[in-house]
């Protein structure tokens, strides 16, 4: 076990509670579709380079009728960044020791008309303390109604805390979730934020609001689209789009790099990859 201070423990507890609520809602959707699919949970432990305890996590995975593959992971880890990697992390150049706790979610859907989605929020401690995260919608077949509703929920969460948050974090998501080698965005966007530091209570409240906004916005989209008819052309479009998603996560995603560089659970880190994708 690693020792946690009050702020670290509060963040960890929230991420785990949010995981429980999201998984329960996703299982409820499976029941509505006549499926008995449920999450399986795989705990894992981390040791640092000296063999000392370095935290732990739980990989939650479900494969069902609506959710072809969805992972909802939580982790709480601590240790020291290696060499050059420390210089790339906020506040770690002066001291490589770190603490990180968070939730990470990626859902790939069976029906091509239902958008895939990503959400994560996290709290990190180096010589600085900050929150980061966000959520973005990734439809193979976009619908304006879904995009508008998803963004409206995130904007409401942002506006309740700072009117500058939504335009700033939306633009950050548009810049971040982009494949420069293909000159296309990964999806229809959302918000992305990082290095939100200073007032712990205010920043923690905003991070909780992001989680609540996701839970309010995404399940209605799934229920709206999961019964739509689809054909082979729709499936081919979905699988080609998933190839772009895999490219982003393997080439550019910061969370993937952070997990691999800090000795996280490889299966949990790479759960973001789609179950089936194609490249022409």
pLDDT in tens, 13-56: 999 999 999 999 999 999 999 999 999 999 999 887 677 788 99
Residue 156, classified by CB atoms within 10 Å of its CB into exposed (0-12), middle (13-18) or buried (19+), is: middle
Mean pLDDT of 5-18: 97
Six token digits for residue 158: 């942002």
* pLDDT at 277 exceeding the cut of 90: yes
pLDDT tens by residue, 149-181: 999 999 999 999 999 999 999 999 999 999 999
State pTM to two decimals.
Answer: 0.94
What does the pLDDT average to over 249-267? 84
Residue whose structure tokens are 């989605």 = 117
Question: Which of the residue ranges 1-5, 62-66, 83-87, 270-274 has the most confident prediction, judged by mean pLDDT?
Answer: 62-66
pLDDT score recorded for residue 276: 94
Q: What is the average pLDDT value for the chain, to the nearest integer?
A: 94
Nearest-angstrom CA–CA distance, 23 and 67 = 11
DSSP designation for 95: -
Residue 93: the pLDDT is 84
Any catalytic annotation for residue 90? no
- Kindly report, residue by residue over 62-115, the tens digit of the pLDDT: 999 999 999 999 999 998 877 778 777 887 788 888 999 999 999 999 999 999
Q: Dihedral of CA 14/273/107/255: which sign?
A: positive
pLDDT at 199: 97
Fold for the domain defined by 6-272: oxygen-dependent coproporphyrinogen oxidase (3.40.1500)
Residue 263, pLDDT above cutoff 80: no
Which residues have a Cβ under 8 Å from the Cβ of 59 and sit 6 or more positions away? 41, 42, 44, 71, 73, 265, 267, 268, 271
pLDDT digit string (tens) for 202-231? Answer: 999 999 999 999 999 999 999 999 999 999
Residue 1 has what pLDDT? 64
Predicted local distance difference test score (pLDDT) of residue 49: 66
**End-to-end Cα separation, the chain, in angstroms:** 47
Q: Locate the domains of the chain by residue range.
A: 6-272
Least confident of 111-120, 123-132, 220-229, 250-259: 250-259
Q: How many CA atoms lie within 13 A of 114 on its CB side?
A: 23
Q: Which of 90, 108, 113, 118 is catalytic?
A: 118
């Amino acid at each position: 076990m690693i020792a946690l201070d009050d702020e670290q423990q509060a963040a960890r507890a929230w991420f785990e509670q949010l995981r429980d609520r999201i998984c329960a809602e996703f299982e409820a959707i499976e029941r509505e579709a006549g499926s008995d699919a449920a999450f399986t949970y795989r705990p894992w432990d981390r040791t640092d380079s000296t063999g000392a305890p370095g935290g732990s996590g739980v990989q939650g995975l479900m494969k069902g009728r609506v959710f072809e593959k969805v992972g909802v992971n939580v982790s709480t880890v601590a240790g020291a960044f290696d060499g050059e990697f420390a210089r790339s992390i906020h506040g770690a150049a002066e001291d490589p020791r770190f603490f990180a706790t968070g939730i990470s979610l990626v859902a790939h859907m069976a029906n091509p008309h239902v958008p895939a989605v990503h959400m994560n929020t996290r709290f990190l401690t180096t010589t600085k303390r900050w929150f980061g995260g966000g959520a973005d919608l990734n439809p193979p077949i976009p619908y304006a109604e879904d995009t508008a509703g998803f963004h409206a929920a995130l904007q409401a969460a942002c506006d309740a805390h700072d009117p500058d948050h939504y335009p700033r974090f939306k633009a950050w998501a548009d810049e971040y979730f982009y494949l420069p080698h293909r000159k296309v965005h990964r999806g229809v966007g959302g918000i992305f934020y990082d290095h939100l530091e200073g007032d712990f209570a205010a920043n923690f409240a905003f991070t909780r609001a992001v989680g609540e906004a996701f839970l309010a916005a995404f399940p209605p989209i799934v229920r709206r689209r999961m019964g739509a008819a689809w054909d082979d052309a729709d499936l081919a479009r979905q699988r080609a789009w998933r190839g772009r998603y895999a490219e982003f996560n393997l080439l550019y995603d910061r969370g993937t790099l952070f997990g691999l560089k800090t000795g996280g659970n490889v299966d949990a880190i790479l759960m973001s990859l789609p179950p089936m994708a194609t490249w022409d």
